[in-house]
Chain A
Amino acid sequence: MVARLMLLALLACSGCKRGAAQGPQEISLQLFGDPAELDAYREMIAAFEEQHPGIRVKLIPVGKQKEFMAKLTTAFSGGTPPDVFLVNYRRYGQLAERGVLEPLGDHLGRGLEVKLEALYPQPVEAFRYRGKLQCLPQNVSSLVVYFNRALFEARGVPLPKEGWTWAELLAAGKALTDRSAPNPSDHVHGIGFEPTLVRLAPFVWQAGGEMVDDLEHPTRFRLESPAGISALKFILELRRVHAVTPSLEEAAALDLEARFIRGKLGMLFQSRRFTPTARAAGGLDWDVAPLPVGKQAATLLHADAYCVARDSAHKEAAFRFISFALGPDGAERIARSGRTVPSLRSVAESEAFLDPTQRPASSRAFLDALPLLRRLPSTATWNEIEMRSDPVVEEWYYGPDRTGLGMAASGADDGGVRFFPGSAKAAMRTGDELTVLPRELTEAVRGLWSPRAP
């Protein structure tokens, strides 16, 4: 009897699905973002539905990238993928490799009213998999420095500007760091650096190094070059020698973004996606600046694109939605929320993105960075390589020293002899730790480089 009830429920459910197909079409849209970002999408969806009464868009929001991908792959393997989803170029490879994406390049001009020439070329290139355009980029963000202007001015530190250097970054970080308050939650750190592969990349490139041997067919990391090591040294010393970034414990107690919002972080390396959240924090006086420059200028492309599941039953509706979202109207709405650096040139260069009444005042920094953009691979296993690598980078960055004060205070272990930032001994010790990272990374991702057949 119970089994029959279940069967009835099942029948009823498949019935309602059929019913839905006759009424307005419903497409599902999975994307990740925090509440401030999601509000912008809800607003854009409302506008789309108003113009297309026959189509309803169901939002499937997920908060973090890692869980986002887990949910996406689980849905694909369960045969219930979302019709449309927004995914980063570093993560769509495993789906493209398995052939579950509808190659959107084939539908341009046929249902998909998006003109490639109107989009910036860099993100478009990032979504070509084996020569075929898989997804259509929504944004062309890059890594920049968010800084707390009020904090800079209060300390009399010169504001970051076009062409500033690594040395100036460090000097500002040192000048802003203040651990004098008795309550550790009042401590201010000059710099927020999230120790991951992605955050390392621009510094390695700026030093003249490479992350991997070949962007299209990577077979190994290239961090061990002298240039790579010099970048690693600069980054590692931020934490271990100068202690201008929060310790692991501090970062775990309150994450970097929350620290910035609370005014306890001078500078934060982030992409455009942090803008809506920073805007939502009322009373914070902040702006963005381009990355400081090492031997050369470079920054990392952060781009997400709309993809369509090959098995979607509502491709036409999905195409219409993407046409709207990437068109002037949709792109402008999301751009106004602050979420994107629009992939659509005309909107990116319009007041919708560069709105002088909205923070950040220096939004143009994102556009100025376009010629400096470099990217990481999009291969089938790249996402997994990052997932395996990041814990290694994190452990390396924070190291065994957790005093919160960096090496300046950890000398007690060395026979009671204190040594100071910049001393030969400190440099030697960090020197050993520099070569460790490339070796450990190589070990951690062994066997992941060649794309696996399904």
Chain B
Amino acid sequence: MGKAALRVLAASLCTLPFAAPLLLMVGASLRDPSAALPGGFAPLPSSPSLAAFTAAFEAVPLARSLWQSTWIAAVAVPLSLLTASWAGLGITLARGRWRTLLLGVTLLLLVVPATATWLTRFALFKWLGWVGTPLPVLAPALMGGAPLLVLLYADAFRRIPVELLDSARVEGASLLRVWWSIALPQVRPTSAAVGLLAFAASWTGFLDPLLYLHREEQLTAPLMLQHLELLGSTQWSVLMAGAVVVTLPAVVAFAFAGRGLFEERRGTGWLQG
């Protein structure tokens, strides 16, 4: 008992720093922007107020950018789920060199930093005439959002009994049918987790919108937050209120779907490729 309690104590101490930025953000956002800053640090203002939130929405068209981010995520997340689960199932079902190819490409993609491709990707999108449209921001969803998502799916599909998948295929079911009717229903928690990560990737994306979206009505929520900073870093509470607003959807999604990420699983396959 004592040992378990100690473990919980240690765990809470070690994980507290991870909650700190969020708590500090919320704390700072509750200060009335017109009130003077205290000398030194005060985690919470003496008289909390929501005035900073009103001010943030007045200073920049934050609501509009939230809508932009929402519809971009609404396109990107299903697309990511589609391509990631297809690729994941492909890795699970394929054998031999095809499996090596798919898995190899996924592992390679894991190590390519976004900064290595942004110049030429920009030139490519320019050539296609896509700069200034949301297409470059949506394009990564075609790649499953992120290679990790493909691997999560591959790992989940591996745990489906092989006979289940094979028997259906022997009976002549098409690949898409196997995917939709057999594979996907078995991995719902993974789909939730992958959907969450795809949502987070889409919602939080900063680099691509920064390069490709220019007009005010196109700006996504993170860009609008940068905008708010550029407009006047003079009012910390307004800036933090904006940060809270932009962060909230990601945190809420995470609270709902995050558990699927950490479920107990036997046999995690991708490293044993």
The answer to whether A80 touches B132, judged by C-beta atoms less than 8 angstroms apart, is yes
Q: How far is the CA of A259 from the CA of B122 in the complex (A)?
A: 41
Residues of A contacting B82 in the complex (Cβ-Cβ under 8 angstroms) = 2
The answer to whether A78 touches B229, judged by C-beta atoms less than 8 angstroms apart, is no
Q: How far is the CA of A10 from the CA of B129 in the complex (A)?
A: 9
Q: How far is the CA of A324 from the CA of B226 in the complex (A)?
A: 32
User: Distance in Å from the Cβ of B41 to the closest Cβ of chain A?
Assistant: 11
Q: How far is the CA of A77 from the CA of B211 in the complex (A)?
A: 10
What 0/1 readout, one digit per residue, does chain B (123-155) give for beta carbons within 8 Å of chain A? 001100111110100110010000000000000
The answer to whether A184 touches B39, judged by C-beta atoms less than 8 angstroms apart, is yes
The answer to whether B131 touches A185, judged by C-beta atoms less than 8 angstroms apart, is no
**A412 interfacial contact with B, CB 8 Å:** no
What 0/1 readout, one digit per residue, does chain B (4-42) give for beta carbons within 8 Å of chain A? 000000000000000000000000000000001111100
Which one of A14, A67, A82, A254 contacts B230 once the chains associate, using CB atoms below 8 Å? Answer: A67
User: Distance in Å from the Cβ of B238 to the closest Cβ of chain A?
Assistant: 11
Q: How far is the CA of A364 from the CA of B230 in the complex (A)?
A: 30
What 0/1 readout, one digit per residue, does chain B (33-64) give for beta carbons within 8 Å of chain A? 00011111000000000000000000110000
Q: How far is the CA of A79 from the CA of B234 in the complex (A)?
A: 34
**A99 interfacial contact with B, CB 8 Å:** no
**A320 interfacial contact with B, CB 8 Å:** no
Which one of A13, A71, A186 contacts B133 once the chains associate, using CB atoms below 8 Å? Answer: A13
User: Distance in Å from the Cβ of A13 to the closest Cβ of chain B?
Assistant: 6
The size of the chain B interface, using a CB distance under 8 A, is 37
Residues of B contacting A2 in the complex (Cβ-Cβ under 8 angstroms) = 79, 82-83, 142
What 0/1 readout, one digit per residue, does chain A (181-217) give for beta carbons within 8 Å of chain B? 0111110000000000000000000000000000000
Q: How far is the CA of A443 from the CA of B111 in the complex (A)?
A: 37
**A108 interfacial contact with B, CB 8 Å:** no
Q: Which residue of B lies closest to A78 (CB)?
A: B131
**B227 interfacial contact with A, CB 8 Å:** yes
Answer whether A6 and B135 are a contact pair too, CB < 8 Å, given A60-B216, A63-B229, A78-B212: yes
Residues of B contacting A255 in the complex (Cβ-Cβ under 8 angstroms) = 233-234
The answer to whether B231 touches A63, judged by C-beta atoms less than 8 angstroms apart, is yes
Residues of B contacting A58 in the complex (Cβ-Cβ under 8 angstroms) = 215-217
**A28 interfacial contact with B, CB 8 Å:** yes
Residues of A contacting B226 in the complex (Cβ-Cβ under 8 angstroms) = 67
Which one of B37, B40, B122, B230 contacts A62 once the chains associate, using CB atoms below 8 Å? Answer: B230
| CB neighbors of A among B172-231 (8 A) | 211-212, 214-217, 226-227, 229-231
Answer whether A63 and B230 are a contact pair too, CB < 8 Å, given A9-B135, A35-B59: yes
What 0/1 readout, one digit per residue, does chain B (77-111) give for beta carbons within 8 Å of chain A? 00100110000000000000000000000000000
The answer to whether B37 touches A61, judged by C-beta atoms less than 8 angstroms apart, is no
Q: How far is the CA of A105 from the CA of B132 in the complex (A)?
A: 29
Q: Which residue of B lies closest to A5 (CB)?
A: B79
The answer to whether A60 touches B39, judged by C-beta atoms less than 8 angstroms apart, is no
Q: How far is the CA of A58 from the CA of B36 in the complex (A)?
A: 37
Q: Which residue of B lies closest to A1 (CB)?
A: B82
Find the residue from B60, B130, B142, B232 having the highest chain A CB count within 10 A.
Answer: B232
Residues of A contacting B60 in the complex (Cβ-Cβ under 8 angstroms) = 35
The answer to whether B122 touches A78, judged by C-beta atoms less than 8 angstroms apart, is yes
The answer to whether A35 touches B126, judged by C-beta atoms less than 8 angstroms apart, is no
**A74 interfacial contact with B, CB 8 Å:** yes
The answer to whether B39 touches A183, judged by C-beta atoms less than 8 angstroms apart, is yes
Q: How far is the CA of A188 from the CA of B79 in the complex (A)?
A: 56
User: Distance in Å from the Cβ of A3 to the closest Cβ of chain B?
Assistant: 8
The answer to whether B131 touches A79, judged by C-beta atoms less than 8 angstroms apart, is yes
The answer to whether A80 touches B131, judged by C-beta atoms less than 8 angstroms apart, is yes
Residues of B contacting A257 in the complex (Cβ-Cβ under 8 angstroms) = 234
Q: Which residue of B lies closest to A33 (CB)?
A: B231
Q: How far is the CA of A405 from the CA of B235 in the complex (A)?
A: 26
Answer whether A258 and B234 are a contact pair too, CB < 8 Å, given A75-B214, A185-B38: yes
**A34 interfacial contact with B, CB 8 Å:** yes
Q: Which residue of A lies closest to B226 (CB)?
A: A67
Residues of B contacting A184 in the complex (Cβ-Cβ under 8 angstroms) = 39-40
User: Distance in Å from the Cβ of B180 to the closest Cβ of chain A?
Assistant: 14
| CB neighbors of B among A239-287 (8 A) | 253-255, 257-258, 261-262
Residues of A contacting B59 in the complex (Cβ-Cβ under 8 angstroms) = 35
What 0/1 readout, one digit per residue, does chain A (21-56) give for beta carbons within 8 Å of chain B? 000000010100011000000000000000000000
User: Distance in Å from the Cβ of B237 to the closest Cβ of chain A?
Assistant: 12
User: Which residues of B are in contact with A by a Cβ distance under 8 Å?
Assistant: 36-40, 59-60, 79, 82-83, 122, 125-126, 129-133, 135, 138-139, 142, 211-212, 214-217, 226-227, 229-235
Extra A-B contacts (14), CB below 8 Å, given A64-B230, A183-B39: A2-B83, A10-B133, A60-B214, A60-B215, A60-B216, A61-B227, A78-B126, A78-B131, A78-B211, A79-B129, A185-B37, A257-B234, A258-B234, A261-B234
A-B CB contact pairs (8 Å), 25 listed: A6-B138, A6-B139, A9-B135, A10-B130, A10-B133, A10-B135, A14-B129, A28-B215, A35-B59, A59-B216, A60-B215, A61-B216, A63-B227, A64-B230, A77-B126, A78-B122, A78-B125, A78-B126, A78-B212, A80-B131, A184-B39, A253-B37, A254-B37, A254-B234, A261-B234
Q: Which 3 A-B pairs have the closest CB atoms?
A: A63-B230, A183-B39, A258-B234
